Amino acid sequence: MLNHGVLTFLAPVLLLSAGVHADGLYTKKSAVLQVDGKSYDKLVAKSNQVSSLKPAYEKAAKGLDGLAQVAAVNCDDESNKAFCGSMGVQGFPTLKIVKPSKKPGKPVVEDYNGGRTAKDIVDAVKQAIPNNVKRISDKGLGAFLDANNDTAKAILFSDKGTTGALIKVVATDYIGRINFAQIRNKETVAVDMFGITTYPTLVVLPGGTEAPILFDGSFSKTAMKDFLDQYASSTKSESAQKPRREQKPIIAEDEPSPTPAEAKETAASASAFSAFSSASSSHASDEATVAPGGATTETVEDASQPTESPDPNVVPEDIPKPAQMPDVAPPIPALIERMFLEKRCLGPKTTTCILALLPGATDEEQSSLPEEVNTALASLAKIAEKHAERDGKLFPFFSVPAKNEAQGVLRDALKLDKTFELIAVNARRGWYRRYEGADGYGKIAVENWVDAIRLGEGAKATLPESLIVEEKQADEHDEL
C-alpha cells in the first residue's frame, strides 16, 4: 500500500472534492480511484476536482503510477459529508496531499494551492514524498558501510544532484529493513571501490560477509521491489528457505584470473578497509589501557646516557600554540532597505533570488536569532562560498531582516507567518518556492533544495503580480 498520494474532493491521496456527482465522472478503467469516508483510511494521498479538472487529474494519476495513489471523493454523497467536513473541505474542487507521519494511521494532510495542470500536480506530489535516502560522500562512506551490518544496505550511484521520487518511494517502503543511500558520480573513491561505470546503478550489500550484488533489472518500482525483497531483513528467514535467483556479483566478467600474489594483495586490501573503522575507533582506548613505564615490551633508553643536542626547530611544550581559527564562510549579504530588495529581486527583469526572511523586528531580536536560523544562514554561506571558489554561476543569496518594510509586504502577499522563512523568487518568470524545512537547515538539505531549483525540478507557485515592481519605479530608486 502506498504511503503518499492525492485526494480530490468531488466534493482529491491526491484527494479531490467537488460539488458534482462524481460516481460517473471517473470510470473503472480510470487511473483515479473513487473513495468514500470508509475506504479513505486504506489510502494515503491527495486532490480535488470537478469535470473541468478531470483531464489533468487523470493524466496526473498516470504520471504518479507506482509513486502515489490518486483518488476522488464525492462530497455531495450524504455518507461522505462528515468525512469531507473532517478534511476541511469548504468549496469545490478542493485538492489535498496526504503523506505519512511518524504516527501510523495519522497521516499529514496538506492543502494544495498550486497550478491545476497535470505537471503542477505531479511535481507537487513528488516533492511531498518523504526522503529516507541518505546522501553519502567519499568521506562518510566508511561509517555507512560499518554501521548496522545486520541489516541490508542499498546504494544508488547517480549522476544527479537530487534524489528522485522513485528511489524515495522505494526507500520509504523498506524503512527498518534496508538502509538506503545515494552516492554521486563525482565521489571517485566510492565509484572506484564498487567499479561503477554507468548511471544510475543500484547495488545491494546483503550484510555480514556476503558480497555486494548488482541490480540489473529495469528501474521500475515492481522490478526493484522484486529484487530488494530478497534482502529485506523481515524476509530473510523466508528467503533463506528458498534459493535466491542468481544475481551478478560486482566483478568484471572479462578480467583475467588474478595471480596468487594479486589475489593475496586484493584480499589484504579488502580486509584492511573493513577493519579500518573499528581499528581507528579502538585506537584511543587501546592506548589508554597500556600500562605506564616499564610495563611495555619496548626497551627504554637509559636517561643517564648523553643525548643529541635539542632541535632548534622544535617548539617547547610550555610555549602556547596559536589558536586554530574555525573555517567560517563569509556571511551572505543582507538587504536592509526596501529599494535594494526590489532592485535585486523583484524587478520585471530580475532573475532567481534565494531570500532568508529573518524573524524579529528589533535590533535585540535580530542579535539573538534562533538556532535554526543561524544554521540556515551558515548553510547558505557555505554553498555560496563553494560555488564562488569554483567560479560557478549561481543565483544570489540574501538575508532580509524584519525591519526591511518590504519583508512584511512579501510575507503578506505570500501568506507567510512571522517565523523564519527560506524562499526562492523569480519576478521575471513570475514564480516563487518555499523551503519546507522537513529535513532541517543543514548544508546538505539546503543544497539539495537549491540544486533542485537550479535544475528546474519541483513545484513552483505563482508570484503575485503586486510584488513585481514597475521598471519606472525601479529607475527612481536607482537615482536615490
DSSP secondary structure of 268-313: HHHHHHHHHHHHHHHHHHHHHTSPSGGGSSSPPPPTTS--PPPPTT
DSSP state of 323: P
Parallel, antiparallel, or unpaired: how do β-strands 152-158 and 178-184 relate? Answer: parallel
What distance in Å separates the CA atoms of residue 387 and residue 394, rounded to the nearest whole number? 7
What distance in Å separates the CA atoms of residue 427 and residue 110, rounded to the nearest whole number? 26
Residue 148 has what pLDDT?
Answer: 81
Residue 375 belongs to what H/E stretch? Answer: helix 371-389
Report whether 40 contacts 7 (CB < 8 A).
Answer: yes
Per-residue pLDDT of the chain (480 residues; tens, 9 = 90+): 334 455 544 333 455 554 444 444 455 555 555 556 555 554 433 333 356 778 888 888 888 888 888 888 888 788 888 888 888 887 778 888 887 776 767 778 888 888 889 898 888 888 888 889 999 999 998 888 888 877 899 999 999 989 999 999 999 889 889 999 999 999 999 998 888 999 999 999 988 778 889 999 999 988 999 999 999 875 444 444 445 555 555 544 444 445 554 444 444 444 434 433 343 343 334 333 333 333 333 333 444 444 455 555 555 555 555 555 456 778 899 898 888 899 999 999 899 999 999 987 555 555 578 888 999 999 999 998 888 887 777 889 999 998 899 999 999 999 998 899 999 999 999 999 999 877 889 999 999 999 899 888 888 999 999 999 876 543 444 433
Query: pTM to 2 decimals?
Result: 0.45
What distance in Å separates the CA atoms of residue 115 and residue 109, rounded to the nearest whole number? 18
Residue 32, burial from CB neighbour count under 10 angstroms (0-12, 13-18, 19+): buried
What distance in Å separates the CA atoms of residue 74 and residue 33, rounded to the nearest whole number? 11
Peptide bond between residue 310 and the one before it cis (omega within 30 degrees of 0): no
Supply angle C-alpha 78, 79, 83, rounded to 5: 105
What distance in Å separates the CA atoms of residue 320 and residue 303, rounded to the nearest whole number? 27
Q: In what order do the strands lie in the sheet with 213-214?
A: 133-136, 178-184, 152-158, 201-205, 213-214, 248-249
Q: In what order do the strands lie in the sheet with 421-426?
A: 397-400, 353-357, 421-426, 431-434, 461-462
Name 281's Cβ contacts closer than 8 Å, sequence gap at least 6: none
Report whether 224 contacts 154 (CB < 8 A).
Answer: no
102 in helix, strand or coil? coil
Crossing angle between the packed helical segments 338-345 and 471-479, to the nearest 10 degrees: 130
Supply angle C-alpha 462, 96, 100, rounded to 5: 115
Amino acid making up residue 151: T
Residue 151 has what pLDDT?
Answer: 85
Query: If phi over 0 gives left and psi between -120 and 50 gives alpha, with beta otherwise, what is residue 86?
Result: alpha
Residue 41 has what pLDDT?
Answer: 52
